[in-house]
Structure formats: structure tokens, C-alpha cells
Chain A
Amino acid sequence: MPIQRRSFLAGTAAAATLASAPAIHAASKNKQYRTALIGAGWWGMNILREAMAGGQTKVVALCDVDSDRLEINAEEVTDLSGDTPRIYRDYRELFEKEDVEIAIIATPDHWHALNALAAIQAGAHVFIEKPTGHTIGESQAVLAASQAADRLVQVGLHRRIGPHHVSGMKFLKDGGAGDIGLVRMFVHSRGGAEKPTRNSEPPENLDWDMYCGPAPLRPYCRRIHPGGFRHFLDFANGTLGDWGVHWLDQMLWWSDQQSPDSVHSTGGRPIAGQAVLNDEEQTTDAPDHQTATYEFDSFTATWEHRKFAGQGPEQTSIGCYFFGTQGTFHIGWRDGWTFYPADSKKQVIHQDAELQEPDGHNLKLLYADFLRAIETGSRPVADITVGHQATTLALLGMLSMKLGRSVRWDAGAQQIVGDDEANGMLRRKYRQPWSYPEIG
């Protein structure tokens, strides 16, 4: 919907507040939550738009290390709501100055834990993007802090609540596929060799030192920001740490949150090529393909991704197959869910996806569930325990791949069994002056 306006200030930073900007509100309930967004990029704005459209959100502040993104997105918030959010480069200053009831966190992964801990400490409930940590110790700290402070944390696992996921899970749990012995989780795409991107001075609008934060300060290149951090292991954990968290979570949901006894993963960059990082140029360094095996008591789950060859002969390039005695159940993204009976005389059963476009998510439902949980004091559908577990499994896969051997996981103790070197990898060294979050 175009926004009609007759007021204009040349060259001002944030957009002028305009009385004529139509506020977009759903049927408004009384309670308006003072909301701040940390990490005002593409996905963060997707969440914030849904929060605003839900009608119980007053956006008080946006925070980002990129002043251009802040400016553009503050303008959009004003256009959509009439509110003029204050803008911050440093989340610590934001929590110092603002009274925030809800913090939405959509920064690159290596910032998730520090941002969430600051929000919890400031008394806010948190909507945090997955994964809940860049290393397992960070996620553990967020879990512990939220429980100690009695703050709700909803993790952005919108596939927990998307209609076809809910109905598909009911089909599975009702025994539609019979007894499941193997779950295969996968994401495949096209791709080839990766050419290095030239390093350059960070753009004037970007606080690169703050972007890197607790991660090593590496040379800037435009492949990293905006939006490219996921395949740089300093900042994220590649496809397994991104898509993998969603599909691991589907498997965990079906299994009633069981824990694997052991995890083993391998992967590499035979197609993308050796990772490059020098003064001149750099490439990403996440694996171009990876497989991981999660051994549970009564079933096995595998992860597989590759960023080459495309969909190939299979019917789908993304999702989970649940292989059971009655047949194969596929839960996917845009392709909904499909059950292929083992008895070929039986009918294939299918349900379409119901998604919000353009980005194909179900954030509206997830955010509404979050607010409902805050109002009723109940647990949100993708709360921190759920998010932490899916994150942990993804990060154990990354850890095993880097370590070059399998690990045994004690979920109760939140530790790897009998492997000091592996346990050392549950945390990472932070760059000064940042300190790794401690529990308690």
C-alpha cells in the first residue's frame, strides 16, 4: 500500500514524523509492549513487521552497527506505525536508556547470546533468532539466565507453529508412518567453485569493530555484510547452524525432545575450494557439504547438506524424511508435507504449506504465540529449552566435523563424555574487551 505524504525534509536522517502516515494496526488489545529490535536487517525487519502488524507493539528503539540500515528501517517503522524509534549503534546503550519490555534479536549468530543476556538483564522478554548461540556454552548461558530471571524467550523456530508442520506432526505422532527407524534431514542447493571477494575498507556507515564484536577482527569484504555472515564460521555455523536448526528441531519435536547418545559429522569444501583469508581477499569458510549422524536409543537421524548439484533426481531439496514401517513421510517448506505409503497400492497423502510471503515464513503465528505466553505466563511453543536443544545438536555436528571424530553427549550434564579436547570446544575465546558469558 503506497503511503501518501505531503511533507518532506531534504537530507534529514530519520524520516520526519508525519501525522498523515496511516498506522497499521490489527484489532488492538490494550497492552502495547515497548519493543526494541537488535539487528535491524532483512530478517529482523521481517519479525518486527509481524510484531507491529499484530497490534500490541510500540517500537521504541532499533539497534544496528550499520547506520544506513538503521536509517532505512527506522523510516519504515515510522511509515508503518507512526512511531519514531530511537536508534542505537550499541545495544548496551540501548538497554541503559530505554525501558524495553520485549527485545527482538536478529543479529549475526555470534552476537545472539550477548544481546539476549543483556536483554534479560534489563528485564525484557526475548524473541531471539536461532541458533541460540554460536557455541554451546553461549546457548547454555542464555537458557540459564532466562530461567533465573523468569523471562520468556521465544526462539525464531517458526516451523514449530506453521500449519503444515502442526498437521504433519500430528499425522506422524498418530502413527501415520508407523514406527520410525530413520530420520533424514537435508538441504540441497546449486553452486560451484567460490571465487574470493576483494577485501575493502568497511563502508563509512558500518562499525566493523562492533560488527565483529567478540569474534576475531578480520578484514572486511562486502560478502560478509549485509546478509552474508552465515557462511563465515567466525560469525555463524554454515548451513547446519542455519537451516539445520529448523530441521533438527522438527526431528526433536517428533521424538519428544530426546537426546542423541553420539554425534558424528564430516564435511569439507571440495567444490567451493580451500577457504581463503588474507590481506587482499577472502572467501567464506563454511563447508560446501556436510553429513552428520545422530544416534538415538531407538532411531538414527542424519543431516546432509550440499551447495552443489541442486535437487537432482529427488522430489524435493529440503526438509526431513521420516522412514517408518508404513512408508516415508516428508515434511518440507514450500512443498508442504507428503506421505508415500510403503504399500504402493495405497494413496499418497499430501498437504500444502500455508506460508507468509515473500519470504515463506510463519512469524505471525510464532509472534502471537509469544505474546500469548507473556500474557498467560505459559511456555511459548519454541521456548529457549526447545531452541537450545536444536542449537546444541547443530553445534555438536559442527564440533565433531572440526574435531574429526565422534562425540558422546550427556544432555543432563550438558557435556561431552570423556573428551577434554571436545569439551574445550563448547566455548570459544572472545576478543577483548568482550567476555564469554558465564552461568550464574
Chain B
Amino acid sequence: MPLYRCVVPELFLFVSFLGVSNCAAEDWYRWRGPDGDGISRETDWKCDWAGEGPDIAWSRSVGTGFSSVVVKDDRVFTLGHVDDQDKVYCINVADGEIIWTFGYPAELDDRDFEGGPISTPTIDGDRLYVMGRAGELFCLQISDGSKMWGINVADEAEVRLPGWGFSAAPLVIGDRLLLNVGESGVLVDKHSGDLIWSSDDRECGYASPVLIPNSDPTVAVIASGKAYIGVDVQSGEQLWAERWLTSFNCNAADPIFHDGKMLLCSGYNRGAALFDIGGTTPELIWKSKEMKNQIHTSILYQGYLYGIDGDMEAGARLRCMDWATGEIRWSVDDLRPGGLAMADGKLLLLTEPGELIIAPATPDGWEPIARGQVLDGKSWTSPVLSGGRIFCRSIQGQLVCIDCRD
């Protein structure tokens, strides 16, 4: 079942601090973090939980859903479904107090899964962009949650909803907002919501759009139901389509780019493939059935992919795969992984039953250094580390803030 999903490396006018060991708190302003790789650059956090267990600073109910959180200026934002509404929550990181909420009418739509919103909002300056499952798109003022504009982007673009609804995070590109809606995306003006271009009325996938680093003209790769498509962001033109079929049109993992190569990965026995994207169309380097990301995008770190392989309902595996060759280095089959993040060379694994496990990210194996129960109930959302705290969320809407500051 595809779920919450979201953002992407936006290397647009973005000054990267790559390579600099940056200990300062870092805003996690979008899905998969500032670098769009699922890795926090923070180092000032600790996980010596022996004895007491993790320090849960606060716990808040944010409604049913799979949305992850974004964090800026000591405020944390997420989405959840409560009483016939999807609600956007703005919560004070320090004490867990709700600063504001913004609701819009929405169905829980819990056919086939628990329901509720499945995308993660995106922060851009003093604005928050929110995408609902049925195509609702809002621009909110971060300070007080007031609505700057709102549209239904599926209606505007006259395209159908995918089976489980829209799940991609909005991607800010300069003055534009790129959405995974329609066959190969929709671009709107981020200041007004006006449509700039749209794509054909075909099922979109569930992955968030990702820009190919250093591409000129800027190219985004967008998951449709049946392909990953290279799109010229300026014009919306499809430059190439890498056919990529799964059951249920469920392409949910974001493409990963590194060193002139692109990794695609889906569940339902699709598997993974690495492509050279140096030419006009992707050229296959290797493919493998050994990594099948049904929902979660893998994390690439020092030449190795760390990812969740297999069907979440049936019990997935945590695996380490060599980026260059596709060889599996290790696999842990009995963890019941629910979501994955990374910081300071360590994997942060949230298990489906709500345990948070910390282990060094190494191809040599899975050797946890800390673990603790942080949630009660099914958890399929990636944890987020920002400002020395780890945020974890269950499907039923328990959001906890774990204080890991030194």
C-alpha cells in the first residue's frame, strides 16, 4: 500500500554545506531533508538510552495518516485526519503545544488501508505547501496558518486521482511548485497557485518529484503509474520515459541520483535498477530483484543503499545494497521495519510496532547501539531528526518528540 511520501533534492539556488561537519541544528524543511537524501547533517545528538530509555519530551495526537513532519524555527508541521477533516498542525517543538491548525474537508477514505493524508508538507520561507489525497493544494502562512491560496490541482489540471490518492510532497523550484499529479507532473506558480503546465490524464505514481542534479535545462524525474519520466521543468515536455511497471501502478520510492547515475526501485516484485543518465536516455547498468522499495525510498550513504525491501504488510526486510553493483551486503529479516532515516553515520529505524533502533550505517552488518519503544501502534512513517530531536509518528496519529540533545 503506497503511503506517505514526499520531497526531493532541490539544488536550485541552494547553497549546500556538503562536506562540512555542521553541528548546528538544521531545519528539516521538506520531505527527505535539505539535501533530499533522507540524511540529517546534525551531529549534536545522542542516543545513550540504556536504563531510562529514550527521553520522550512530549506526545501529541495529530490524527490518522502517514505524513512525515517538517521542521523550521522550532516549529514542527504535519498532517492528519480528524473528524471529517484533514488538519495541518503547527506545533511548538519546545513543549508540544499546538500553535495553530488549518483544516479542510476530506474523507478518511480508509478503504484498503487506515486512510488519512499520505503526503508530507513542504516549507518554503514563510510559506507551507500542503497536498491532500484528493488533489487539494494549499499555501499557508507559517506564522498563523492563514490561507494564502488554495486550489484543487487535480480538478484544475483535469486529471484523475491515483488509486490511493496523491502522496507526493510539493517541490519548490524557484517561484514554481512541481507536483506529482497527472502522467508527468503539474507546475503551478507558488505565489498564486496558477497552473503553468500540466500533463496527460493518466495515473500518477506516489513518489515525489526529484530534480536531476546539475541538469541544464533543469530536469525533474516524476513517477507515473507506469514509468519514471524525465521532464523539462520549464516546459513540462517529456524528455524520456523509463517504463517501470508494478502491480497497482505503485511507483512510490523517489528516484535517487548520484554520480551521473539514477536508481529506480519499486515493490511488488519489480525490484531495483541503476541507470547511467549521462546520455539522452537512461542506460541500464544493473538490475536486481533483491531490493524492492514498496513505499520507502532507500538512503544512499558512502556507496551503499540502506533500504526496506518487500511487502510492508507481509513483513519487509532491512537491507544494505552496493550502489555500484547491486550486490546485497546484508539483510535483516525479522525487524518489521516501518520507516528509515539517517544522521551522523547512523541509521534511525522506526519499526512497525513503534520501536526506534539506532545502528551505524555500514556494509559490514546491522549492529544496533541503542533502541527504545517510542510509539504504541502501527508506524510506517520515516522518523525525522532536527534540532537534536527525533520525531516519530504512528498511523493512528501519535506524534512523539524524543529529546536527544547533548
Which residues of A line the B interface, CB within 8 A? 1-8, 10-13, 42, 45, 68-69, 71-72, 76, 79, 195-198, 200, 203, 222-223, 226-227, 281, 358
A-B contact pairs, 6 of them (CB 8 A): A1-B288, A1-B290, A3-B286, A4-B286, A12-B243, A68-B247
Contact check: which of B246, B283, B290 meets A6 at CB < 8 Å? B283
Contact A198 B111 (CB under 8 A): yes
**Contact between chains at B111 and A11 (CB < 8 Å):** no
Q: Which of B307-357 contact A (CB under 8 A)?
A: 310, 325-327
Is the pair A8, B248 in contact by a Cβ cutoff of 8 Å?
Answer: no
B325 near A2: Cβ-Cβ < 8 Å: yes
Most buried by B among A13, A72, A79: A72
Q: How far is the CB of A93 from chain B (nearest CB, A)?
A: 22
| Residues of chain B having any CB pair with chain A under 8 Å | 110-112, 163, 226-227, 240-243, 245-249, 269-270, 275, 281-290, 310, 325-327
Going nearest first, the 10 A-B pairs with the smallest beta carbon separation are A2-B326, A2-B288, A2-B286, A8-B284, A10-B281, A68-B245, A226-B247, A8-B283, A72-B245, A197-B111
Q: Are B269 and A42 in contact (CB under 8 A)?
A: yes
Residues of B within 8 A of A4 (CB): 285-286
Question: Which chain B residues lie closer than 8 Å to A197 at the CB level?
Answer: 111-112
B245 touches A71 (CB 8 A): yes
Enumerate chain A residues within 8 angstroms of B226, measured Cβ to Cβ.
68
Contact partners of B290 in chain A: CB under 8 A? 1-2
Q: Which residues of B contact A5 (CB under 8 A)?
A: 284-287
Knowing A8-B282, A68-B226, say if A226 contacts B288 (CB, 8 Å).
no
- B240 contacts which chain A residues (CB < 8 A)? 10
Is the contact region of chain A dominated by helix, strand, or loop, or is it mixed?
loop
Residues of chain A contacted by B310 (CB below 8 angstroms): 358
In the bound complex, residues from chain B placing their C-beta under 8 Å from that of A226 are 247-248
Instruction: Give complex CA distance A10, B281 in Å.
Output: 7
Residues of A within 8 A of B270 (CB): 72
Given that A2-B288, A5-B287, A72-B270 are known contacts, is A10 also in contact with B242, CB under 8 Å in the complex? yes
- The listed residue (A3, A72, A281) touching B269 by CB distance below 8 A is A72
Most chain A Cβ neighbours within 10 Å, of B112, B282, B310: B112
What's the nearest-Cβ distance from chain B to residue A77, in Å?
13
Residues of B within 8 A of A8 (CB): 275, 281-284
Contact A11 B282 (CB under 8 A): no
The chain A residue sitting closest to B288, CB to CB, is A2
CB of A41 to closest CB in B, whole Å: 9
The CB with the most chain B CB atoms within 10 A, among A8, A12, A42, is that of A8
- Min CB distance B69 to A, Å, is 28
Minimum Cβ distance to chain A for residue B286 (Å): 4
Contact of A11 among B243, B284, B285, B286 (CB under 8 A): B243
- Chain A residues in 8 Å Cβ range of B281: 8, 10
Least CB distance from B230 to A in Å reads 10
B153 to chain A, nearest CB (A): 20
With both chains docked as a complex, state the minimum distance between the C-beta of A359 and any C-beta of chain B, in angstroms. Answer: 10
